[in-house]
Amino acid sequence: MTPSGKTERDIAETLRQLRLVMTGLQVAGIEDWAAAWSDPAVGLPEPEKAIEQEPDPAGGLTVIAGELEGCRRCRLHSERTRIVFGEGSAHAPLVFVGEGPGLEEDRQGRPFVGRAGRLLDQMIKALGFHREAVYICNVVKCRPPKNRTPESEEIARCGPFLIRQIEAIRPRVICALGACAAQTLVGTGSSISRLRGSVHYWRGIPLICTFHPAYLLRTPAQKAAAWEDLILVRDLLKTGCVQDGGIGREGIKPSPASDRHIGP
């Protein structure tokens, strides 16, 4: 116990959160993190400065994938079977970003193909899309051992490729799945429960954070909350803004119960 009453574990957790914030700011493209820290307006979208649509998104993705071939930039290379770059439409209006590949993804070299992937497919279907019409990728492209959360050093090494993927596609909406993706893209150490339910921005693109499908499989009671997040995604895709003020505000129209089912 320190004089301030904090345990070493408290301090370690605070340092972990700080590292996450700094990595997230870096991945979010906010280089002047000191200014961002003191001024919440730093890093907020300025539509006129929004990055241009890549003239050839598919070509851009191919170039990025080529640069990652055989990648050994971080220690996650040592236990991977395959790099899981991402898949879907290069012209996708919606990009899903997860944490990292799991066992099945590592075997197949494709993102979200296990049980969690099947649930994500249902979430995508609930939004009116086929899987092939959206783009799905992860913060890190190699499987962390035992599916642990990627460390900040690994995110810092792999994150720039995620940035380039999103920049190449330039979707209308990004949906971060789980705490790692949400914290990385928002540039914060806040919990997913705090980050979900409102619209964030990543370089001018609306960003919705929601629970990871793997978490929803373990905690089905949170599916209703995830459905609320998908309604935000749907509204942003349809109109570019959130209808009726967003979740929990007076006026939001609940969907029929049958529409809310997004998985087993």
Q: Is 163 in the site for ligand SF4 (CB under 6 A)?
A: no
Which listed range, 57-65, 70-78, 90-98, 212-220, lies at the site for ligand SF4 (CB under 6 A)? 70-78
Is the Cβ of residue 127 or residue 137 nearer to ligand SF4 in the bound state?
137
What are 209's strand-pairing partners?
176
Cβ atoms < 10 Å from Cβ of 25: 22
* Beta strand spans in 123-227 (E): 135-138, 173-177, 199-202, 205-210
71 vs 133, which CB is nearer to ligand SF4? 71
The amino acid at residue 159 is: G
36, 158, 162, 226: which one contacts ligand SF4 (CB under 6 A)?
Answer: 158
What lies within 8 Å, CB to CB, of 102 at 6+ separation is: 114, 116, 143, 147, 214
Q: 70 burial class (0-12, 13-18, 19+ CB within 10 angstroms)? A: exposed
Footprint of ligand SF4 on residues 78-137 (CB under 6 A)?
83
Is residue 143 part of the contact set for ligand SF4 (CB under 6 A)?
A: no
Q: Note whether 64 binds ligand SF4 by CB under 6 A.
A: no
Phi-psi region of 171 (alpha: psi -120 to 50; beta: other; left: phi over 0): beta
Stretch that binds ligand SF4, among 12-20, 55-63, 76-84, 108-116 (CB under 6 A): 76-84
- What residues make contact with ligand SF4 under the rule CB under 6 A? 68, 71-74, 76-77, 83, 140-142, 154, 157-158
